[in-house]
């Protein structure tokens, strides 16, 4: 087993048991050994949650355990990961642009979207985070009100993917599609889906999301 696999397996055990103290200690120790918070998030937290998802799918665990795991991860993020990411702020003083973020209608998953929001902020973007379960019409209305440069959407439920396309179609229908580059991400998405629905970019991770937003605004 690689170092990351050992850590991830331990972390999975901790979050399934709702053992906040152990999960926080594991994250803190790892950061203390020189791992960056983003590395820990992508190599330990994210795969641990995927593992939880697989167990849920195969009925090895049920909704209450998935809720416990998610709550424990949120605690680790708020106590350890988010402050460490914020501390590693690049010190970018000029805004690179304004990004609207939302998890689309019907979908309440926000752990990944919140990491994208944080990473965008520390990399110099302004973020208008509309939260979860946001209807396509609201996304378009807020994008106009806030005069954002990019619309970013997240979806983890495949049943909610059509709402992402609705946003692209609404923009098209209003004749303002060219004003708003659209980026999508989340476990239910992949680059081909992005292309099919007419989005401008896909982010496979929070870091890639930031890179793609820079690219969309010609800042790379
Ligand atoms: Co749910 N859930 N869940 N869940 N859940 C999944 C998504 C699922 C795949 C599990 C499974 O069955 N294998 C499955 C969806 C199946 C499908 O649609 N194909 C599922 C289900 C079925 C459900 C419920 C329906 C269960 C039920 O009630 N019976 C229910 C739905 C509720 C709802 O949304 N209406 C539900 C509920 C929940 C909890 C509330 C318990 C909890 C969410 C808590 C929360 O988010 N606050 C939860 C969790 C934790 C999961 C899993 C286990 C983990 C999700 C997660 O946080 N991943 C998940 C399994 C899985 O994903 N394989 C599962 C880690 C996160 C970092 O990844 O969000 O993809 P992700 O974000 C990444 C990248 O994708 C990218 O950056 C992030 C960081 O690298 N990214 C972007 C994300 N958004 C981006 C946007 C960008 C760019 C990059 O630009 C804008």
What tokens were used for 35?
């791992």
What tokens were used for 215?
């690219």
Minimal-distance CA residue to ligand 1 atom 83: 186
Task: Compute φ and ψ for 151, nearest 5 degrees.
Answer: -105, 125
Instruction: State if residue 58 touches ligand 1 by the CB under 6 angstroms criterion.
Output: no
Indicate whether 57 pLDDT > 70: yes
* Lowest-pLDDT choice from 157-161, 180-184, 194-198, 216-220: 216-220
Indicate whether 112 pLDDT > 70: yes
Is residue 170 a contact partner of residue 134, using CB atoms and an 8 Å limit? Answer: no
Task: Work out the average pLDDT over 196-218.
Answer: 97
Minimal-distance CA residue to ligand 1 atom 11: 53
Band of residue 91 on the pLDDT scale cut at 50, 70, 90 = low
97, 156, 168: residue to mutate for ligand 1 pocket, most atoms within 8 A of CB: 156
Task: Work out the average pLDDT over 194-215.
Answer: 97
Q: Please list, in sequence order, all residues whose beta carbon lies within 8 angstroms of the beta carbon of residue 5, skipping any fewer than 6 positions away.
A: none
- The CA distance from 49 to 55, in Å, is 10
Q: Please report the pLDDT score of residue 144 as a whole number.
A: 98
Indicate whether 94 pLDDT > 80: no
Mean pLDDT, the chain, integer:
96
Q: Please, what sign has the CA dihedral across residues 18, 21, 22, 27?
A: positive
Instruction: State if residue 97 touches ligand 1 by the CB under 6 angstroms criterion.
Output: no
What's the CA-to-centroid distance between 110 and ligand 1, angstroms?
A: 7
Q: Please report the pLDDT score of residue 152 as a whole number.
A: 98
Indicate whether 89 pLDDT > 90: no
Q: Please report the pLDDT score of residue 14 as a whole number.
A: 98
């Amino acid at each position: 087993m690689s170092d990351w696999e050992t850590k991830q397996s331990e972390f999975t055990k901790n979050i399934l048991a709702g053992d906040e103290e152990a999960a926080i200690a594991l994250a803190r120790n790892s950061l203390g050994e020189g791992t960056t918070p983003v590395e820990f998030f992508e190599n330990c937290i994210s795969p641990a949650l995927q593992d939880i998802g697989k167990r849920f799918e195969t009925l090895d665990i049920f909704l209450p355990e998935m809720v416990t795991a998610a709550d424990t991860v949120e605690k680790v993020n708020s106590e350890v990961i988010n402050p460490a990411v914020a501390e590693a702020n690049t010190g970018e003083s000029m805004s690179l642009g304004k990004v609207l973020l939302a998890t689309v209608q019907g979908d309440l998953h926000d752990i990944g979207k919140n990491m994208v929001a944080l990473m965008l902020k520390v990399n110099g973007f302004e973020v208008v985070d509309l939260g979860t379960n946001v209807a396509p019409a609201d996304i378009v209305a807020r994008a106009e009100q806030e005069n954002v440069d990019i619309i970013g959407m997240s979806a983890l439920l495949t049943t909610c993917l059509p709402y992402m396309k609705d946003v692209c179609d609404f923009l098209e229908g209003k004749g303002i599609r060219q004003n708003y580059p659209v980026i999508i991400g989340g476990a239910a998405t992949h680059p081909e889906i992005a292309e099919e629905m007419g989005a401008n970019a896909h982010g496979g991770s929070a870091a890639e999301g930031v890179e793609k937003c820079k690219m969309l605004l010609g800042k790379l």
